[in-house]
């Protein structure tokens, strides 16, 4: 895929005027308050595993409207804590997978929680196990248009709330230092991490990788790839729904959440990314209300930095969290 977006020097200063609803903060404060009011403490079940350097737990916590959401918790063995924590959100179509897939954060001394994405987990990877029990109106295949005519019904209202309450769940654990929790995710997971950063006080760091769900007004008309194309297909049929669709999406735009972020961020962007165009990533990064850095991968598509990107992430996180606790 050749480069198709703005030149790099223009990307680095790109700061569009993204539509923000007047009641954006009220909408999200009410949404979170309602779900927290019915939340119950997370339930942990120790998993029998051949892994010896980590402990694995199957976690169920309360998400949107008290719905049960599943996650894996992986802790470094033989360390009592309090541990710094990190919550990871998963890319579009994937689920939490199996517990032994992601060991690098726990092996580095962090309490690591990998959140399932409700209703997803059947496109790639090793599956998910969290249902989305809320019905919506007609939609195109995928998740992007579920409930898209009303922000109260929209699918990502539930997912973003799950993401915030995953942080609450991790912070509630005895072996976790609630003051040292970070969030991370790639693609959809990066978009969720941005939303959580805008809705959660006291995070220590945020690491969105090639994030999705940013600057909808540009992305939907710019790329011919899914998932943004799901909205295009929907609007090609529902021709009179343009205004309500973009009104709904304005409550879920990563740029608007970025304006409310209070934790330092390390972004990544791929300059040949036709799934999440570079300008949409820079729109969120340049709107970030706290300190924000970005690493460019000039010749990569949506895969971004993959495993290469973890080393700078680990350095960034250690700088802000402090060195994790070591075994005595």
302 is an active site residue: yes
Is 92 annotated as ligand-binding? yes
Is 263 in contact with 197 (CB distance < 8 Å)? Answer: yes
Edge-to-edge strands, sheet with 83-89 = 43-46, 54-62, 68-76, 111-115, 83-89, 176-186, 205-209, 265-270, 292-297
62 is an active site residue: no
Catalytic member of 62, 140, 186, 187: 187
Catalytic member of 70, 215, 302, 309: 302
For residues 62 and 233, give the distance between their C-alpha atoms in angstroms, rounded to a whole number. 33
Catalytic member of 186, 273, 279, 309: 273
Specify the DSSP element, H or E, that contains 280: helix 278-287
Is 41 in contact with 33 (CB distance < 8 Å)? Answer: no
Is 48 in contact with 61 (CB distance < 8 Å)? Answer: no
**DSSP conformation letters of 25-68:** HHHHHHHHHHHHHT----EEEEPP-S-SSEEEEEEEEE-GGG-E
187 is an active site residue: yes
Is 127 in contact with 1 (CB distance < 8 Å)? Answer: no
* Residue 262, phi then psi, degrees to nearest 5: -120, -5
A 10 A CB-CB count for 226 gives: 17
- Chain centroid to Cα 276, Å, comes to 14
For residues 303 and 16, give the distance between their C-alpha atoms in angstroms, rounded to a whole number. 25
Catalogue the active-site residues.
187, 273, 302
Q: Provide the annotated binding site.
A: 92
Q: Provide the annotated binding site for substrate.
A: 92
């Amino acid at each position: 895929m050749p480069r198709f977006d703005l030149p790099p020097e223009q990307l680095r200063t790109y700061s569009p005027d993204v539509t923000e609803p007047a009641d954006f903060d009220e909408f999200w404060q009410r949404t979170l308050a309602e779900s927290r009011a019915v939340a119950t403490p997370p339930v942990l079940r120790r998993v029998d595993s051949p892994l010896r350097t980590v402990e694995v737990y199957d976690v169920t916590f309360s998400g949107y409207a008290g719905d049960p959401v599943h996650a894996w918790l992986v802790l470094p063995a033989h360390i009592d804590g309090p541990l710094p924590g990190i919550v990871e959100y998963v890319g579009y179509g994937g689920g939490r997978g199996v517990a032994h897939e992601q060991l690098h954060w726990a092996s580095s001394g962090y309490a690591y929680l990998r959140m399932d994405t409700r209703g997803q987990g059947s496109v790639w990877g090793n599956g998910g196990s969290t249902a989305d029990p809320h019905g919506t109106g007609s939609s195109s295949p995928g998740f992007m248009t579920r409930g898209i005519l009303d922000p109260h019904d929209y699918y990502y209202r539930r997912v973003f709330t799950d993401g915030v309450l995953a942080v609450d769940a991790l912070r509630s654990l005895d072996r976790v230092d609630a003051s040292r929790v970070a969030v991370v995710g790639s693609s959809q997971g990066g978009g969720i991490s941005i939303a959580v950063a805008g809705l959660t006080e006291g995070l220590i760091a945020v690491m969105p990788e090639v994030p999705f769900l940013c600057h909808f007004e540009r992305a939907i008309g710019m790329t011919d790839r899914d998932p943004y194309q799901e909205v295009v297909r929907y609007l090609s049929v529902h021709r009179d729904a343009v205004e309500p669709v973009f009104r709904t999406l304005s409550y879920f735009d990563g740029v608007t959440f970025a304006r409310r972020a209070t934790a330092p961020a390390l972004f990544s962007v791929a300059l040949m990314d036709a799934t999440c165009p570079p300008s949409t990533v820079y729109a969120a990064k340049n709107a970030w209300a706290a300190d924000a850095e970005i690493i460019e991968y000039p010749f990569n598509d949506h895969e971004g930095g993959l495993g290469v990107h973890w080393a700078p992430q680990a350095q960034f996180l250690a700088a802000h969290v402090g060195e994790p606790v070591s075994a005595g």
